[in-house]
Amino acid sequence: MAFKSKIKWVALFVLTLSLASLVAHLSMTKFSSMNLVQYSAKEALSHDFPNTGSPLKTRRNKRLWGAVRSLESLQPHANPRSSYPVPDENTNGFIYAKIFGGFEKIRSSICDLVTISRLLNATLVIPEIQQSTRSKGVSYKFKSFSYLYDEEQFIMLLKNDVNIVKSLPEYLKAARRRSEFPTFKPKNSASPNFYVKEVLPNLKKAKVVGLIVTEGGCLKSILPPSMSEFQRLRCRVAFHALQFRPEIQILGLRMVERLRASGQPFLAYHPGLVRDTLAYHGCAELFQDVHTELIQYRRAQLIKQGIIHDELSVDSHLRRENGSCPLMPEEVGLLLRALGYPSKTIIYLAGSKTFGGQRLLIPLRALFGNLVDRTTLCSKTELSDLVGPEAPLPADIFRLPLPKSEQQLMDQWKKAGPRPRPLPPPPDRPIYQHEKEGWYAWILEKDKEPDPSPMEHRMQAHRLIWDALDYIVSVEADAFFPGFNNDGSGWPDFSGLVIGQRLYERASSRTYRPDRKTIAALFNIMRDDMYHPKRDWMLSVKEHLNRSLSEDGFFRQSLLSKPNSFLSHPLPECSCRIPSVETSKQIKGKDGRIVFGGEEECPKWMELARAEGARNDNMESAEDDNDTVEQLEPNAVDAPSSLTSLIDHDEEWDPND
C-alpha cells in the first residue's frame, strides 16, 4: 500500500509540473510581442560577410573566379566588315510576324526576323509576342513587344540595318484583318533560299507578308561564309538592340548590386528543368511523383504532334547516362563543392519556374546556404511594379465533375459490353482540398489537360519578366553554371543564350560547359557515397569542369549548340582577336568550318584600350596573388588534401550529420 501511495504522489507531482509549464508557456505567448521575421537575403549575406569594407574579404580566389587566360584575346566585334549599305526607304513591302513561345524562343525569333527583313529588303513591323498580348490579361500600359523590350531603342539602334515601323499603315490594316495577305509558317531550319524563292515573290506581289514563328526561330543557324554580315546582324540585334524596357533593366542591375554588396563574387545557376524539354528527352522517371505523370502526358502530346518519333515509355536512367537528361540541383551542388567553392558561396538561382518545385532544391540549399533568387532579392512591391496595373481576374476554383444521374448510370451499364461483367470497382478515395490546389490538380480526375485559365495566361506573361531579370543577373555573374543546355531538341534554351552573350561580351568569363555524359559516368562511380567522395573522384571532376572553361568546352559548345542556335555560340563571326604572345591554333569542325582560331584581328583602337586595361589588372593582381592563395588555399602544395579537408571539416557537407 505504501508503494502505491508513493506512485500516486509522484504522478500528482509530475502532473502539477506539467500544468505549471503549460500555464507559463501560455502566458509567454499571450504577453509576448515577438513577430515572425521575413527572410531577407541582404541580412543573411551581411551576416555571413560582416566586414564588407575589408580589402581582405573582397579578394578573389583566381582558381574559382579568375578569367580564362586562353580566351582573353577574344573581343566582341559585331560591326560590319565590308561595304554595308543603309537600307533603302523604298522596300519590297512589309513583314509582320506573330511569335509563339517563351523567353528563349522570343529572343531568338526576333533576331531571325530582322535578318530576314534585311535579306528581303523589307520593312519589319514590330513583332507581336503572343504570350504578352492584351488578351492574356497583361497591363493596359504595355503593348505586346513593349511588355518586355524597349521599342524606341530597338528601332533607333537598327536604323542602319533595317527599316522598322510600329504598325502597318492604316490602309493595310483592314486587309490584314480580312486575311487577304499571304502567311507563312517557316521552320527554324528554313534556308535563305526558301525566303528568296518562296516568300520574296509573294512579298513583291502583295506588298505585305505574314510570318508565324513557333519553333524559336525562322532561319537556319549556320549560314554560308558569304553571309557573315547577316550573322553579325544577328549579334547586333541580340546583344545591342534588344534592350529590356528601362524598368526591367534598372531592377535587374539593382539585383546585381545587391548580390555584390557584400564584396563577394557570386555564381549564377540555371537548372533548366522545363517540362517540354524533359518530355522530349524522356526524363520522367527522374522525379517519381506526380511530375512523372505530367511529363509522360506532355510526351504523348509531342508524339501525337509528330515532334517526337520515339516510344512513349523509355528508360530515363539510360537517357541520363547518355547525357540527354539535366543535372539535378543536388548533383550541381556536389560538383561545385568538389571544385572547391565554399559553403558560403553566393549562388543566384535563375529560371522563372523550376519543374519539380522547391523539393528538388533542398539538397542544394543544404550545401550552399546563400542560395538566393529574385523573390529574396526584391520586395513584392518592386516585382509588382514591373507588371503594372492589371484588371482583376476571377480566382481559379477547382470544381469537381458533376455527379451522374440514375439514368446516365443505367445507360452506361447497358453500354458496358457483353455479360458476364466484372464487379464494379470500389468507390474512389475522397480527394482532399490540398490535393485539388495547384496547376496539376487536373491529373487526379481527368485524362485530358484542361485549357489554361485566364490567371495561368497572365502568369505566363509574368514569367517573361522574371526570365528577363534572371537573364540580366546571369550575364553579369562572376561565374555561370548551366544545368541543362545543348539538349539537342533544336529549341533555343535559356542557358545557351546566356552562354552566348557571356562569350560575346567577355569570352574569358568563367562559364562552365559540362559534358553531362561524362558527369553521369562520374556520379555512377560514387552513387552510393556521394557526400564523402574519394580524392581521385574529386580531381577528375575538377579536371573536367576546368577543361570545360577553355578550348575543350569552347569546341564542344560550337559543335553541339551552334547548329541549333547561333546566339549560343556567335563566334568567330562576331568577334576579333587581339594579337598576343599565346597564338591559338585553328580548330575545325567535321564540316570543315573554323570553330576556334579563325577570328580576324581587332582594330587598333581596341588593342590600345585592352592594353591599358590589362596594365591596371596586372598591378592589382600582383598585390593580391599571395594573400588570395593564403586566404582560401593555405595548402597549395597539396591541392588534393586541401580539397578533402574542405569536405571532411565542413558541417554542411553531409545534411544527415
pLDDT of 92-125, one tens digit each? 999 999 999 999 999 999 999 999 999 999 999 9
DSSP characters for 248-293?
Answer: HHHHHHHHHHHHHTTS--EEEEE----HHHHHHHT-GGGT-SHHHH
Question: For position 473, what pLDDT does the model report?
Answer: 97
> d(Cα 211, Cα 109) in Å, to the nearest integer?
11
Question: For position 457, what pLDDT does the model report?
Answer: 84
C-alpha cell read off for 49: 560577410
Q: Is the pLDDT confidence value at 86 over 70?
A: yes
> How far, CA to CA in Å, does 363 sit from each of 329, 409, 656?
7, 49, 11
Q: Is the pLDDT confidence value at 570 over 50?
A: yes
Buried b / exposed e along 398-428 (16+ C-beta atoms within 10 A): eeeeeeeeeeeeeeeeeeeeeeeeeeeeeee
Question: For position 36, what pLDDT does the model report?
Answer: 47
Residue 292 near residue 300, CB atoms below 8 Å: no
Question: For position 2, what pLDDT does the model report?
Answer: 60
Residue 161 near residue 85, CB atoms below 8 Å: no
Q: Please give the average per-residue pLDDT across 334-352, as a whole number.
A: 93
Closest CA to 492 of 564, 574, 570: 564
Question: For position 432, what pLDDT does the model report?
Answer: 60
| Residue 596 Ramachandran class (φ > 0 left, ψ -120 to 50 alpha, else beta) | beta
Give the model confidence (pLDDT) of 508-541 as tens digits: 999 999 999 999 999 998 887 888 888 899 999 9
Closest CA to 609 of 75, 71, 68: 75
Question: For position 44, what pLDDT does the model report?
Answer: 65
Question: For position 453, what pLDDT does the model report?
Answer: 79
Task: Please name the residues in contact with 59: beta carbons below 8 A apart, sequence gap of 6 or more.
Answer: 624, 627, 628, 631
Question: For position 589, what pLDDT does the model report?
Answer: 60
Q: Please give the average per-residue pLDDT across 145-163, as a whole number.
A: 94
Q: Within 10 A of 503 (CB to CB), how many other CB atoms are there?
A: 25
> d(Cα 129, Cα 144) in Å, to the nearest integer?
5
Q: Which of 59-63, 544-548, 551-555, 590-594 has the highest mean predicted lDDT (pLDDT)?
A: 544-548
Residue with cell 555524359: 517
Q: How many CA atoms lie less than 13 Å away from 624 in the CB half-sphere?
A: 17
% of the chain with per-residue pLDDT over 70? 78
Residue 198 near residue 205, CB atoms below 8 Å: no
Q: Is the pLDDT confidence value at 317 over 50?
A: yes
> d(Cα 321, Cα 318) in Å, to the nearest integer?
5
Q: Is the pLDDT confidence value at 328 over 90?
A: yes
Question: For position 597, what pLDDT does the model report?
Answer: 66
Task: Please name the residues in contact with 569: beta carbons below 8 A apart, sequence gap of 6 or more.
Answer: 499, 500, 503, 557, 558, 561, 562
> How far, CA to CA in Å, does 176 sit from each of 63, 134, 208?
58, 19, 9
Residue 244 near residue 142, CB atoms below 8 Å: no
Closest CA to 99 of 122, 68, 126, 69: 126
> d(Cα 587, Cα 396) in Å, to the nearest integer?
55
Question: For position 150, what pLDDT does the model report?
Answer: 94
Give the Cα-Cα-Cα angle 339, 343, 347 (nearest 5 degrees). 85
Q: Which of 156-170, 218-232, 630-644 has the lowest mean pLDDT?
A: 630-644
Q: Is the pLDDT confidence value at 644 over 50?
A: no
The more confidently predicted of residues 601 and 441 is 601
Residue 233 near residue 314, CB atoms below 8 Å: no
Q: Which of 137-146, 349-358, 372-381 has the highest mean predicted lDDT (pLDDT)?
A: 372-381
The more confidently predicted of residues 422 and 132 is 132
Question: For position 69, what pLDDT does the model report?
Answer: 87
> d(Cα 39, Cα 48) in Å, to the nearest integer?
14
Question: For position 619, what pLDDT does the model report?
Answer: 53
Virtual torsion, Cα 610, 258, 154, 86, nearest 10 deg: 0
Give the model confidence (pLDDT) of 23-68 as tens digits: 888 877 666 544 545 556 666 666 667 655 444 445 778 899 998 8
Give the model confidence (pLDDT) of 218-274 as tens digits: 999 999 988 999 999 999 999 999 999 999 999 999 999 999 998 899 999 999 998
Question: For position 119, what pLDDT does the model report?
Answer: 95
Q: Is the pLDDT confidence value at 471 over 50?
A: yes
pLDDT band of 646, cuts 50, 70, 90: very low
Q: Which residues pair with 99 in a beta bridge?
A: 129, 213
Question: For position 433, what pLDDT does the model report?
Answer: 56
Question: For position 474, what pLDDT does the model report?
Answer: 96
Question: For position 580, what pLDDT does the model report?
Answer: 66
Question: For position 401, what pLDDT does the model report?
Answer: 64
Closest CA to 252 of 473, 522, 515, 546: 473
Q: What is the mean pLDDT of the chain?
A: 82
- For 301, the enclosing helix (H) or strand (E) is helix 290-304
Give the model confidence (pLDDT) of 576-627 as tens digits: 888 764 555 666 665 566 666 667 788 877 766 565 555 555 554 554 444 4
For residue 329, say if its preceding peptide bond is cis, omega within 30 degrees of 0.
no
Q: Is the pLDDT confidence value at 470 over 90?
A: yes
Q: Within 10 A of 258 (CB to CB), how many other CB atoms are there?
A: 17
Q: Please give the average per-residue pLDDT across 191-198, as a whole number.
A: 94
> d(Cα 593, Cα 228) in Å, to the nearest integer?
13
Virtual torsion, Cα 477, 127, 224, 156, nearest 10 deg: -70
> d(Cα 360, Cα 328) in Å, to the nearest integer?
8
The number of angstroms, rounded, from the C-alpha of 444 to the middle of its chain's C-alpha atoms is: 29
Question: Would the pTM of this model clear 0.85, i.e. be above it?
Answer: no
% of the chain with per-residue pLDDT over 90? 43
The more confidently predicted of residues 17 and 109 is 109
Q: Which of 86-95, 160-169, 484-493, 614-623 has the lowest mean pLDDT?
A: 614-623
Question: For position 640, what pLDDT does the model report?
Answer: 38
pLDDT band of 552, cuts 50, 70, 90: confident
Question: For position 519, what pLDDT does the model report?
Answer: 93
Q: Please give the average per-residue pLDDT across 268-292, as a whole number.
A: 88
At residue 594, the 3 state secondary structure works out as strand
Q: Is the pLDDT confidence value at 147 over 60?
A: yes
Residue 387 near residue 352, CB atoms below 8 Å: no
